[in-house]
Amino acid sequence: MFKILLALTLWVSLYATQKYTGCELAQYGDVKVQLDKKADFVKVKYDAIAKSGSNFKDILVGSKITLDDKKVIEIIDIRANKRVKGEPRTGSLTVSRDSKKIKMNYWYNNGHFIAYSQKNQEHLSFYFDIKAILCYTN
């Protein structure tokens, strides 16, 4: 009985010391937005839902971008495409603007996150940087 208890205690202690594999992500720097095919990106106010998280959904969904005219763009969903090794991460993003849902594509590579949409006459794109602030290995 003692050996079983000792083995169980060792197993639990080893399991508890295993580290999470992955990275803690954080958005940093200014968010810049381009609207309605204007040439320049404009600086905006960005209210992040979280300072950091383990994936894009943790740090982006629920975040709000306030434009100069006080209109708000809210990120309401994000979906990743299947990862291709050596290629940038891609996927889709859904935002809400003026009570309309806008589907966007995103591209992430070397810390740069770019989302863009060109549906009909409406054009919206924004970019910012996301960095890994802490990475864990097993």
Q: Residue 37: inside a domain, yes or no?
A: yes
d(CA 70, CA 65): 9
Residue type for 25, please?
Answer: L
Q: Say what the pLDDT of residue 7 is.
A: 47
d(CA 65, CA 126): 10
Q: Residue 12: inside a domain, yes or no?
A: no
Q: Residue 130: inside a domain, yes or no?
A: yes
Q: Residue 17: inside a domain, yes or no?
A: no
Q: Say what the pLDDT of residue 35 is.
A: 80
Q: Say what the pLDDT of residue 123 is.
A: 81
Tokens 């209109």 appear where? 71
Largest CA distance in the chain: 75
d(CA 79, CA 54): 15
- Give me the half-sphere count of Cα atoms (radius 13 Å) on the Cβ side of residue 81: 13
**Listed residue (45, 49, 24) closest to 132, CA to CA:** 24
Q: Residue 99: inside a domain, yes or no?
A: yes
Q: What is the arithmetic mean of pLDDT over 122-127?
A: 83
Q: Say how many domains are in the chain.
A: 1
Q: Are 114 and 129 in contact (CB under 8 A)?
A: no
Q: Say what the pLDDT of residue 15 is.
A: 45
Q: Residue 11: inside a domain, yes or no?
A: no
pLDDT in tens, 53-96: 999 999 999 999 998 878 899 999 999 999 999 999 999 999 99
Residues spanned by the domain of 129: 23-136
pLDDT in tens, 2-52: 555 444 554 444 444 444 457 889 888 888 888 876 666 677 889 999 989
Q: What is the arithmetic mean of pLDDT over 94-106?
A: 91
Check residues 10 and 133 and name the one with the higher pLDDT: 133
Q: Residue 16: inside a domain, yes or no?
A: no
Q: Residue 69: inside a domain, yes or no?
A: yes
